Amino acid sequence: MELRSDLPAKDDERFEAEQKAVIKKITAAFAEEKHLWDEVYSSIKETLGSC
């Protein structure tokens, strides 16, 4: 997700509104996109398996 790289500069008047929109998209992706959950699950398994 490269959404944050598309944000305007922090001193731009559009920054706050666009940042909120990006956060909303990222939050929705974390909740809805199965491949993200699969990556987290794999990472946890790998970390715990190496203990």
Q: What is the pLDDT of residues 6-20, one digit of tens each?
A: 899 999 999 999 999
In one letter, which amino acid is 10? Answer: K
Question: Radius of gyration (Cα) for the chain, nearest Å?
Answer: 16
Band (pLDDT 50/70/90 cuts) for residue 2 is confident
pLDDT tens for each residue of 15-47: 999 999 999 999 999 899 999 999 999 999 999
pTM: 0.64
Q: CA–CA distance from 17 to each of 22, 26, 38 (Å)? A: 9, 15, 31
Look at 2 and 34; give whichever has higher pLDDT: 34
